[in-house]
């Protein structure tokens, strides 16, 4: 973004777009707080190990004791014992997913760059599939494109610089296709369909071309809407993921407790009858 400002000869014109980019850190930090609480309270590495120890050493003793006392084992306890590996794998997978996300979050752009050093830009591909990251890219692109067009930068050069501001290889590839359309004689709003799935950017850009206040001012409403939607979607995703993992983890732990107490109750009831 700053390089684009340098090219048009006035870095101050790109500062509003830079400020939008900086606000993304607030949304990321709020989402990370949910995951941090989840790691600290629910998905500790010890939990799957405890589950395995109980299922492999404690429950078999219960079943052996029930067999010696000629007591039929409770169906739920028997199910927990035989499905222990599968249930522990579910708990371990949830914990591993959160820990991997935490490592990627801490690693930041350096880790993402290392992961993309191969042929496939996996991080950029995943980022474009996340709805809030896609909206943030569209916001950055639209903001920079408006500034560059207002500065009378040629359309092809403006599209290339605005796409570079998204720092996403897949998005820049789509922009390259839009540049091909421009060179083929299509108008800018039509070429931008390559970067807009729902067609709203095309409509906004068409109206902006007729506005007397400039492209950046005409696109400002859509840019603000994209920023708000991205923030909302990222927070909603963090809440849904953490809530789902807590519920799954709680269900597994609850099943373990229920299976244990059913075996104990069966033993106690038989002892009382004796």
Q: Quick one: pLDDT at residue 174?
A: 87
Instruction: Quote the CA–CA distance of 178 and 195 in Å, as a whole number.
Output: 8
- pTM equals 0.74
Q: Give the whole-number percent of the chain exceeding pLDDT 90.
A: 1
Secondary structure class of 117 (helix, strand, coil):
coil
Instruction: Quote the CA–CA distance of 240 and 213 in Å, as a whole number.
Output: 41
Place of tokens 């050493």: 57
Closest CA to 32 of 248, 237, 249: 237
* CA distances in angstroms from 272 to 5, 24, 45, 261, listed in the order given: 84, 64, 40, 16
Domain map of the chain by residue range?
2-273
Instruction: Quote the CA–CA distance of 136 and 197 in Å, as a whole number.
Output: 14
Instruction: Quote the CA–CA distance of 203 and 197 in Å, as a whole number.
Output: 12
- What totals of helices (H) and strands (E) does the chain contain, helices first? 13, 0
Number of other CB atoms surrounding residue 194 within 10 Å: 17
Give tens-digit pLDDT for 186-242: 888 888 888 777 777 777 777 777 767 778 888 888 888 888 898 888 888 888 888
Give tens-digit pLDDT for 60-107: 777 777 777 777 877 887 787 777 778 777 877 777 777 777 777 777
* CA distances in angstroms from 199 to 104, 111, 230, listed in the order given: 33, 34, 18
Q: What tokens were used for 104?
A: 């990627």
CB under 8 Å to 79, separation ≥6 — which residues? 259
20-24, 65-69, 71-75, 270-274: range with lowest mean pLDDT: 270-274
Instruction: Quote the CA–CA distance of 270 and 84 in Å, as a whole number.
Output: 26
* String of DSSP letters for 20-56: HHHHHHHHHHHHHHHHHHHHHHT--THHHHHHHHIII
Instruction: Quote the CA–CA distance of 209 and 261 in Å, as a whole number.
Output: 71
């Amino acid at each position: 973004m700053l390089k684009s400002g340098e090219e048009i000869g006035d870095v101050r014109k790109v500062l509003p777009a830079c400020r939008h980019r900086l606000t993304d850190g607030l949304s990321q930090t709020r989402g990370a707080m949910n995951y941090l609480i989840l790691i600290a309270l629910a998905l500790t590495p010890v939990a799957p190990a405890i589950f395995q120890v109980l299922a492999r050493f404690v429950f078999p003793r219960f079943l052996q004791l029930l067999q010696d006392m000629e007591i039929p084992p409770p169906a739920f306890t028997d199910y927990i014992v035989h499905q222990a590996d599968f249930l522990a794998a579910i708990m371990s997978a949830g914990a591993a997913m959160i820990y991997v996300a935490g490592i990627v979050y801490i690693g930041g752009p350096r880790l993402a760059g290392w992961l993309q050093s191969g042929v496939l830009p996996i991080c950029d591909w995943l980022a474009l599939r996340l709805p809030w990251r896609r909206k943030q890219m569209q916001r950055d692109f639209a903001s920079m494109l408006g500034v560059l067009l207002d500065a009378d930068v040629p359309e092809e050069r403006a599209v290339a610089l605005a796409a570079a501001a998204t720092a996403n290889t897949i998005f820049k590839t789509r922009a390259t296709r839009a540049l091909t359309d421009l060179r083929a004689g299509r108008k800018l709003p039509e070429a931008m369909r390559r970067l807009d799935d729902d067609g709203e950017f095309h409509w906004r850009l068409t109206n902006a071309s007729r506005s007397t206040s400039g492209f950046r001012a005409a696109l400002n409403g859509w840019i603000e809407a994209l920023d708000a939607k991205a923030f909302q979607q990222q927070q909603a995703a963090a809440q849904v993921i953490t809530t789902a993992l807590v519920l799954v983890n709680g269900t597994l732990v609850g099943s373990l407790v229920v299976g244990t107490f059913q075996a104990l109750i069966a033993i106690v009831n038989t002892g009382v009858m004796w």
